């Protein structure tokens, strides 16, 4: 009798609920992945905005630092368009313990000085040491680009050299922080993170509560996806690291390829590229990892390396169920897009910089500063007696050699160049002397007379500088030089 009652209850449940047919499951998968694809294409459009796309090489260009030390200086050049965008900010992350922990410095500001007009810099106080790892993360308000995707993050990340799985928190970079309370706690995304190794891509979708809700027997059912896009791809294709169960029972964890039509906004189809895919749903995170070759070897992936040297990642959660005989799909939560730039700066030990090719010509002194570690020059000055001039760089590729210059250098016959990479100081003495055949010969006729006085007056009025008429070698041509020249012509000197 008891067993019979249970059978009746079970039958009653099926008369009031319905498990989807295979056709309905296929429809749910198709419509759910359509939502994912649409979000991924919006993300691609955002990243391909002209301000970002046309200047992608400048987003995180010329990254360089001082040598490892307690006062660790970092520089990066940004495009003028990106600097002008609203709410542009940056943070530098520095590790002195082989990436076990990171110090975040969000005081990264424009230097706005000669030679560094588009350079942002930061000085991070560390515990010191001979080894350093560091990376830069930047953020811009998409509203200033005419878009509505909130803050867009472009970030390097730690380097998971040993393919640690799952990666520790210290090996991830934040790519998108999402507001909470806009979905049920098990589908409410808090954060999207990413990292990389030589051959693998790693991503983590972090939820407000535990991961991951599979749904009830009769629904609704839930899908957790980290979409991947190559912004340089010609095809309208998105890739997805997906996890689902229940009604999504056939969507086994894998790397999926979703192909759609931007004209109709519909997905043409999807397929699992590979099941060689690592994932974890422990705690509150859906973590996933896949070999990069599966992406870049796909015919629709596009050029690689691309202009960003990275990928666009986007996190989504989707709910699916049945509304009578119809399939019901709802996008529960979606993050802003984040660009994971697959690079990290690392330096072990330090090599001293080298000064070479010093040239002095008519008051201008130049020298080439080369640092094989690509360390910037924390000090770059020239001294003549007690007078100092700061030398200005013409570029920021220090490993290739950068020319520093100072104008108006004059005085004694020896100029002392003093440079440092933060640890190693280098000094170079340069003979400057006088390059003038006849001091005071303003009109270059090899005779000192009244005509030179007239010419010198004209030079003073025009504010031009010429070492050969700087009679007192004070770096300025003014009335004092006229007095000196008059005395010379009159024979009073």
pLDDT tens string 339-358: 999 999 999 999 999 999 99
Average pLDDT, stretch 279-294?
95
At residue 14 the predicted structure's pLDDT band, cuts being 50, 70 and 90, is very low
Counting every residue written for the chain, the total comes to 493
Regarding whether 324 and 395 lie in a shared domain, the answer is no
Question: Is residue 417 domain-shared with residue 479, that is, in the same domain?
Answer: no
Answer yes or no: do 341 and 194 share one domain.
Answer: yes
Same domain as 357, residue 341: no
**Span 393-405, pLDDT tens digits:** 999 999 999 999 9
pLDDT tens for 88-147 read 788 999 999 999 999 999 999 999 999 999 899 999 999 999 999 999 998 877 665 555
How buried is 274 (Cβ within 10 angstroms: 0-12 exposed, 13-18 middle, 19+ buried)?
middle
Angle, in degrees to the nearest 10, between helices 450-462 and 479-490 = 180
Q: Answer yes or no: do 467 and 333 share one domain.
A: no
351 CA to centre of own chain:
26
Last residue of a domain, one of 380, 398, 431: 431
356 or 327, greater pLDDT: 356
Which of 328, 345, 362 finishes a domain?
345
Q: Is residue 255 domain-shared with residue 356, that is, in the same domain?
A: no
In a domain, 438, yes or no: no
Q: Residue 1 falls within a domain, yes or no?
A: no
| 38 is a domain residue | yes
My answer on whether 53 and 142 are in the same domain is: yes
Torsion of CA 42, 44, 49, 51, to 10 degrees: 130
Question: What are the tokens at 86?
Answer: 């609203």
- Domain extent for 407: 350-431
Do 319 and 226 fall into the same domain? yes
Q: Is 419 a member of any domain?
A: yes
Dist. CA 134–CA 64, nearest whole Å: 10
Asked whether residue 56 falls in the same domain as residue 178, the answer is yes
Domain for residue 424, yes or no? yes
- CB-based contact 253:286 (threshold 8 Å): no
Cα three-residue angle 486-488-492, rounded to 5 degrees: 100
Q: What would the two tokens of residue 229 be?
A: 């896009």
Q: How many domains does the chain have?
A: 3
Residue 446 pLDDT more than 50? yes
Query: What number is the average pLDDT over the span 370-384?
Result: 97
Q: How confident is the model at residue 323 (pLDDT cuts 50, 70, 90)?
A: confident
Q: Is residue 83 part of a domain?
A: yes
Same domain, 354 and 338: no
Pair (228, 364) in one structural domain: no
pLDDT at res. 11:
33
Within 13 Å, how many C-alpha atoms sit on residue 119's CB side?
A: 23
Q: Are residues 125 and 165 in the same domain?
A: yes
Does 2 map to a domain?
A: no
The CATH number assigned to the domain holding 393 equals 2.60.40
Of 292, 327, 345, the residue that ends a domain is 345
In a domain, 8, yes or no: no
């Amino acid at each position: 009798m008891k067993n019979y009652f249970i059978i009746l209850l079970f039958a009653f449940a099926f008369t009031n609920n319905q498990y989807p047919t295979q056709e309905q499951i296929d429809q749910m998968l198709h419509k759910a992945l359509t939502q994912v694809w649409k979000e991924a294409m919006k993300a691609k459009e955002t990243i391909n905005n002209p301000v970002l796309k046309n200047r992608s090489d400048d987003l995180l260009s010329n990254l360089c630092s001082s040598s490892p030390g307690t006062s660790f200086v970092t520089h990066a050049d940004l495009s003028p368009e990106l600097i002008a965008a609203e709410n542009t900010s940056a943070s530098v992350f520095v590790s002195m313990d082989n990436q076990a922990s990171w110090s975040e410095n969000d005081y990264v500001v424009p230097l706005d000085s000669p030679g560094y007009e588009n350079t942002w810099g930061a000085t991070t106080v560390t515990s010191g040491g001979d080894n350093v790892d560091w990376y830069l993360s930047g953020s811009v308000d998409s509203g200033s680009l005419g878009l509505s995707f909130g803050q867009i993050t472009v970030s390097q990340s730690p380097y998971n050299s040993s393919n640690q799985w799952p990666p520790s928190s210290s090996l991830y970079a934040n790519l998108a922080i999402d507001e909470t309370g806009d979905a049920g706690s098990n589908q409410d995304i808090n954060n999207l993170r990413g990292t990389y190794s030589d051959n693998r891509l790693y991503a983590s979708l972090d939820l407000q509560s535990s991961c991951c809700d599979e749904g009830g027997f009769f629904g609704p059912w839930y899908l957790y996806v980290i979409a991947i896009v190559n912004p340089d791809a010609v095809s309208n294709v998105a890739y997805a690291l997906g996890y689902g169960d229940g009604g999504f029972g056939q969507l086994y964890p894998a790397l999926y390829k979703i192909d759609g039509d931007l004209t109709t906004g519909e997905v043409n189809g999807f397929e699992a590229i590979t099941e060689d895919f690592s994932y974890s749903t422990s705690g509150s995170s859906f973590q996933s990892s896949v070999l990069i070759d599966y992406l870049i070897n796909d015919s629709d992936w596009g050029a690689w390396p691309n202009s960003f040297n990275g990928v666009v990642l986007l996190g989504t959660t989707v709910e699916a169920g049945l509304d009578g005989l119809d399939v019901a799909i709802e996008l529960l939560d979606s993050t802003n897009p984040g660009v994971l730039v697959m690079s990290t700066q690392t330096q072990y030990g330090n090599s001293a910089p080298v000064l070479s090719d010093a040239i002095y010509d008519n008051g201008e002194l130049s020298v080439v500063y080369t640092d094989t570690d690509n360390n910037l020059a924390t000090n770059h000055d020239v001294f003549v007696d007690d007078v100092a001039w700061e030398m200005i760089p013409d570029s920021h590729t220090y490993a290739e050699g950068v020319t520093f210059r100072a104008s108006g250098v004059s005085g004694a016959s020896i100029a002392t160049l003093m440079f440092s990479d933060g640890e190693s100081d280098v000094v170079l003495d340069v003979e400057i002397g006088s390059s003038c055949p006849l001091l005071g010969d303003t009109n270059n006729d090899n005779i000192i007379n009244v005509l030179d006085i007239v010419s010198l007056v004209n030079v003073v009025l025009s504010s031009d500088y010429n070492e050969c008429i700087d009679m007192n070698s004070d770096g300025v041509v003014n009335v004092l030089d006229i007095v000196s020249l008059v005395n010379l012509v009159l024979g009073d000197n």
